[in-house]
Amino acid sequence: MTTTLIVLAHPEPRSFNGAWAEATRQACLAAGDTVLFSDLVQMGFDPVEAPRHYPTFDNRSNFDPLVVQEAAAERDVLPPDVVSEIERLRRADRVIFHFPIWWFSPPAVLKGWLDRVMSHGAVHDVGNRFDTGHFVGKKALFCVTTGSRASESAYNGKEGDIRMLLWPFAYALRYMGFTVLEPEIVHGVHGYHSGQRQKDMIARLDEVLTSQPKLIEAFGTRSAVPFNADQDFDEDGQLKPDRPSQSRFIRHDP
């Protein structure tokens, strides 16, 4: 049996993002999955890593998040909300993220979730990352909305290449060992449509919701985002000249 963790990052449960996440939940349940659900905003997840989360931290010392996280992990005193999310990640075979693109990136609550939940010493360390990350064997999928049109979010679009915008988040999961699948993106989702355009958008979004079971059914055959393997880099951490670049973020030419 597959265990699916759904992570929703949107302040309005009745939004399309919320409805899409619920459609994912229902599709996974219908497929026989065990489903875990983290609605970050509704659960009041605090995205700001700070000393207040660590009661045993000595405030006379400088707050170094990595050092403090590692010490808390070693003493088994990580914050309860972080422990809960880590446990969900460990149980999950796959993680499906639902979020909009705001200001050319995922919402802050999702970045904060990464900052706090991907805790140093608990789920990553120097010897366990990338090809040997703690979550090797698990898959992740982004179900994303943009307000911009598909043409504007293309590689030559004015709003920027959506796949480039998603790359840092994808690479953070790659760092943790995840296999990141090619994203599912729905464009032109906003509340400023009117008249026929609004009707067209509603019909288009309804089709996305009703087709979600097909997406879940085909999950296992979905292509993965390509990343360079550990062996593609030299001892200085630079891409070897004879290894192909898998992203414009890591390339041979400046």
Separation between Cα atoms, residue 206 and residue 20, nearest integer Å = 9
The pTM score is 0.95
Could you tell me the maximum CA-CA distance found in the chain, to the nearest angstrom?
A: 61
Domains of the chain: 3-223 (3.40.50.360), 229-254 (no CATH)
Nearest to 222 by CA among 109, 131, 143: 143
Catalogue the long-range contacts made by 52-61 (C-beta closer than 8 Å, 24 or more residues apart).
Answer: 53/79, 53/82, 53/116, 54/79
One pLDDT digit (tens) per residue for the chain, 254 residues: 899 999 999 999 999 999 999 999 999 999 999 999 999 999 999 999 999 999 988 887 899 999 999 999 999 999 999 999 999 999 999 999 999 999 999 999 999 999 999 999 999 999 999 999 999 999 999 999 999 999 999 999 999 999 999 999 999 999 999 999 999 999 989 988 889 988 888 999 999 999 999 999 999 999 999 999 999 999 999 999 999 999 999 999 99
Using DSSP's 3-state secondary structure scheme, residue 171 falls into helix
List own/partner pairs for 71-80 with CB under 8 A and 24 or more apart: 71/121, 72/119, 72/121, 73/119, 73/120, 73/121, 73/122, 74/121, 78/119, 78/122, 79/53, 79/54, 79/116
Contact 156, 108 (CB under 8 A): no
